[in-house]
Amino acid sequence: MEPFLLACHRQLSAMHPICVLLSPCWTNTMRINANARATLINAAPVGSLEASFTPGRYNMELNSVAYDNCGAWTRSPYQRICLTEPDRNEPRGVKLVFEDYPFAKDALDVWNTSKEYVSNYVDLFYSRDKQVQEDVELQAWWKEIREVGHGDKKDEPWWPSCQTKESLVDILTTVLWIGISHSPVNFGQYAYGGFTLNYPPLTRELIPEPNTPEYKEMLFNFERYMLRTSSSPQQAVSIMTTMMVLSNHADDEEYIGQRNETNWTSDPRVKAVFDKYAQQVRDIERKIEQRNADPQLQNRRGALKTPGYTLMYPTSGRGLTGKGVPWSISI
């Protein structure tokens, strides 16, 4: 997200409509990135990832290789993570590979609604493709994102052109989605990984082969074997604390469909487009509640019969709630 943010502040005036559209996506992003560099992704023993996860000092190198190979715009980011396939008979041109996939089902609603919001917003300021091409600030923004923010990838063939309204809508929806898709990964991690043995970040030995002394030892006392091979108590407490902090919502969190500042725009057309989006987000909340109450959708509750899948539920209160989709990556 940081390259998009920096290019926005360098190339777009504060009053540029695209800057206004994206402004909630930047809330606290630079602060949390600075904190991460100081305590999370830096070198051990201070950095939590290197100090407490199996890859150790190779942790960020492995992440860098994975990111290098991801091909950001080869397909829509929604399609890459939600197991969809093209279907011309569907209103949005894609369908889920299987229906009872809670994240994908809820995320499809959020993606489609957000893309419609961006499209309606862009229509207010650009009536023709030529206007997109002649917007000097917009083109400078996109040029910096490609050539400076992603200099090592600037010549990749998958970059959108930003020469048409359609490509601009795809770009802006993807930027919004970067923040939106962070939420289900981040705000659900403590409920699953807070108990270290449920999600051990570190193992000191390989899984033993059958008919070996280590395998017999594991079968004889599995609990003792797991405690010996997984994180130490100090590492477990460090990871639990980190997950708890990261999974918390702040009091002033700004969720999709909301703007904390009442005077963020004086344009009644923009306000009308946003109000429509806000209502659609509230409709998504009702859909999620209905799905969670449907006994046929068993994956939403699981074997433990939880209250239901809420990681894509748009709004939340403060604290550890397991729901809420903020605009920005701020924690």
Is 177's pLDDT higher than 90?
Answer: yes
- Measured CA to CA, the distance from residue 162 to residue 41 in angstroms comes to 33
pLDDT tens digits, 2-58: 999 999 999 999 999 999 999 999 999 999 999 999 988 888 888 888 888 888 889
Residue 194 has pLDDT above 90, yes or no: no
pLDDT at 244: 92
* Pick from 144-158, 190-204, 270-284: least confident: 190-204
| Mean per-residue pLDDT over the chain, rounded | 90
Q: Read off the pLDDT of residues 255-271 as tens digits, 9 standing for 90 and up.
A: 999 999 989 999 999 99
| Per-residue pLDDT, 307 | 87
| Residue-wise pLDDT tens digits, 313-327 | 999 999 999 999 999
- Residue 5's pLDDT is 96
Q: What does the pLDDT average to over 222-242? A: 87
Residue 74 pLDDT: 61
Q: How do 94-96 and 84-86 pair as beta strands?
A: antiparallel
Largest Cα–Cα separation, the chain: 74
Q: Is the pTM of this model over 0.85?
A: yes
Distance between CA atoms of residues 2 and 76, nearest Å:
20
CA distance 185 to 183: 5
